[in-house]
Amino acid sequence: MQVEYRVDLRPHHTFGLPVHAAAWVELTDAARLPEILALPEYDPATVLWLGGGSNVLFGGDYAGLVVHLAHKGIAAEARADGRVAVTAQAGEIWHDFVQHTVAQGWYGLENLSLIPGTVGAAPVQNIGAYGVEVGEYIASVYCFDVDTQQFVTLDAAACRFAYRDSLFKQEGRGRYVICAVTFVLDTVFAPRLAYGDVAAVAAEIAAGRAIGAADVAAAVCRIRQSKLPDPKVLGNAGSFFKNPVVDAETAAALLAQHPTLPHYPQADGRVKLAAGWLIDQCGLKGFAVGGAAVHDKQALVLVNRDHASAADVRALAQTVQARVAEGFGVALEPEPVWLAC
Ligand SMILES: Cc1cc2nc3c(=O)[nH]c(=O)nc-3n(C[C@H](O)[C@H](O)[C@H](O)COP(=O)(O)OP(=O)(O)OC[C@H]3O[C@@H](n4cnc5c(N)ncnc54)[C@H](O)[C@@H]3O)c2cc1C
């Protein structure tokens, strides 16, 4: 297993900050995970298990070992109920995997097209978009437990999927390395078109035919490309803040003052608010600190406009949080994982 030193992390995370990893290993076979724990550079307190780097923010140079999970492979098995169990290895690129499922006639993930990153990271924050969360389709997650040094399979209930959250983002963080994910997908297509413009754009693409999964995937790609900056062109980490969820009383008070505030009642009685709207109302679109800025078209996205440093991003995020707290009394929580090491 080859360890590299002082590795430039710019190509390995989508914000493109000028930071280095003290040590770096590429893992191409999950069975070799125990060997990593035996490396002199390995320290459980500082190791970073990295996929595509689209949901991490480096606070500066990373002083620990970064393990890039790059092992690939997809296998499928028909189930007695007519659905299909599809197991993908952690290093598969998420969007390529979704495209593959659609091409094979395995349905459910098409609304999650074009989300950057890897299959292995998808359960970590229970990725979601256009009315679908990946946890709805996950049957189990095959992990390496670094505490017991055993491979284990966790079923969906054990993963505790919630809005942009799971066991792997909470107390399982750093303990479970996700090696592979098993999805149960449908073989009969049932489109999920209730969210945003997906129905209209998919119908336009289908042009009179019945809407198929490929049309929904293409519609989602088209909408995303029109709304979100491409990290290859303008560094970013997608939605920088989670949509805040507040109690019904707080939501009612805010709505009385701001009747146009987009809000989404939740099953538990609480109400989800649109973080991008709150930031926009504070007049922060285009606001910059050093080389980091609030995207001028989408206030929820912070971008690396011009050679931003990690300190610029942190100062900008803190300013946005303070202004939204002052204006609305609502606390914004960052969505990406901040890494300080
Ligand atoms: C332009 C853009 C748009 C985005 N849109 C969305 C969206 O619509 N919906 C959404 O939910 N997210 C979105 N994201 C966030 C991001 O794409 C997802 O969170 C994605 O799953 C991250 O994958 P990754 O491989 O890049 O993870 P990384 O950034 O590499 O890692 C993220 C976290 O997961 C951990 N991790 C990664 N792989 C593993 C593994 N195999 N085992 C254990 N831990 C692991 C890391 O240690 C880290 O804590 C967007 C990001 C960008 C840049």
The pTM of this model reads: 0.94
Which ligand 1 atom is nearest residue 237's CA?
53
Residues 64 and 100 in one domain: no
The residue out of 36, 69, 102 marking a domain boundary is 69
- Segments forming the whole domain that contains residue 24: 4-69
Residues in the chain: 341
Contact indicator for 338, 57 with CB cutoff of 8 Å: yes
Q: How confident is the model at residue 163 (pLDDT cuts 50, 70, 90)?
A: confident
Phi and psi of 83, rounded to 5°? -85, 180
What is the domain count for the chain? 3
Q: What is the pLDDT of residues 61-91, one digit of tens each?
A: 999 999 999 999 999 999 999 999 999 999 9
User: Is 164 considered catalytic here?
Assistant: yes
Give the Å distance between the CA of 115 and the centre of ligand 1: 8
Residues 30 and 45 in one domain: yes
For residue 52 and ligand 1, the question of a CB distance below 6 A is answered with yes
**Averaged pLDDT, 276-298:** 97
Closest among 284, 286, 287 to 275, alpha carbons compared: 284
Domain membership of residue 228 (yes or no) is no
For residue 221 and ligand 1, the question of a CB distance below 6 A is answered with no
Determine the Cα–Cα distance for residues 241 and 321; give it in Å rounded to an integer.
Answer: 9
Domain membership of residue 123 (yes or no) is yes
Residues 63 and 81 in one domain: no
Question: Which entry of 166, 239, 305, 314 is annotated as an active-site residue?
Answer: 239
Which ligand 1 atom is nearest residue 228's CA?
1
Q: What is the pLDDT of residues 232-263, one digit of tens each?
A: 999 999 999 999 999 999 999 999 999 999 99
Which ligand 1 atom is nearest residue 118's CA?
25
Structure tokens at 117: 């990153």
**Averaged pLDDT, 153-181:** 96
Give the Å distance between the CA of 114 and the centre of ligand 1: 12
Give, using CA atoms, the residue closest to atom 21 of ligand 1.
122
For residue 336 and ligand 1, the question of a CB distance below 6 A is answered with no
Determine the Cα–Cα distance for residues 86 and 23; give it in Å rounded to an integer.
Answer: 34
Q: How confident is the model at residue 196 (pLDDT cuts 50, 70, 90)?
A: confident
pLDDT for the residue 341: 63
Residues 259 and 322 in one domain: yes
Give the Å distance between the CA of 255 and the centre of ligand 1: 32
Q: Is the pLDDT assigned to residue 101 strictly greater than 90?
A: yes
pLDDT for the residue 271: 96
Q: What is the CATH number of the domain that holds 24?
A: 3.30.43.10
Tokens 């929904």 identify what position?
216
User: Is 335 considered catalytic here?
Assistant: yes
Helices (H), the chain: 33-37, 94-104, 156-159, 198-206, 213-227, 248-257, 275-281, 310-328
Domain membership of residue 292 (yes or no) is yes
User: Is 140 considered catalytic here?
Assistant: no
The residue out of 20, 38, 69 marking a domain boundary is 69
Give the Å distance between the CA of 322 and the centre of ligand 1: 26
Residues 37 and 126 in one domain: no
pLDDT for the residue 195: 87
For residue 124 and ligand 1, the question of a CB distance below 6 A is answered with yes
Question: Which entry of 83, 164, 305, 314 is annotated as an active-site residue?
Answer: 164
